[in-house]
Amino acid sequence: MAAGSGSRSSGADGPWYVYIVECRDGSLYTGITNDLARRLQQHNEGTAARYTRSRRPVRLRYYEECENRSAALVRECAVRLLTPKQKWALVEEYERARGADPGRG
């Protein structure tokens, strides 16, 4: 990455995350963020994505850390291209690997 690119301070970039939330209607929404807790709060307050605004509350079902924003965007695109069945399989595999932490999100 070029020095000085972007308007944030160097410490603010940190890791980025690709995440999947389950909406109240059972649908899944995929996004990226560099602050999972803040983004989940935004989704549940109705100030994040238009898609989740009318489908609150949402619950975090999956996330993975990426090296930077660019890598997160590439991974997000790949996840969005999955079928709903494939996304649910990803969520279920993730929860099995983590011990299905039901209190998360």
Q: Is residue 105 part of a domain?
A: no
Q: Is residue 8 part of a domain?
A: no
> How many domains would you assign to the chain?
1
What the block records as the tokens of 15 is: 């890791």
Choose among 27, 12, 8, 5: nearest CA to 84.
Answer: 27
Residue 9 lies in a domain: no
7, part of any domain: no
Residue 77 lies in a domain: yes
pLDDT in tens, the chain (105 residues): 333 333 343 344 679 999 999 999 999 999 999 999 999 999 999 999 999 999 999 999 999 999 999 999 999 999 999 999 999 999 999 999 998 655 444
Model confidence pTM above 0.85 = no
The CATH number covering residue 72 comes to 3.40.1440.10
- The domain containing residue 41 runs over which residues? 15-98
Predicted pLDDT at 34: 98
104 lies in some domain: no
Q: Is residue 56 part of a domain?
A: yes
Identify whether 59 is part of a domain. Answer: yes
Residues 6+ apart with CB under 8 A from 79: 18, 20, 30, 87, 90
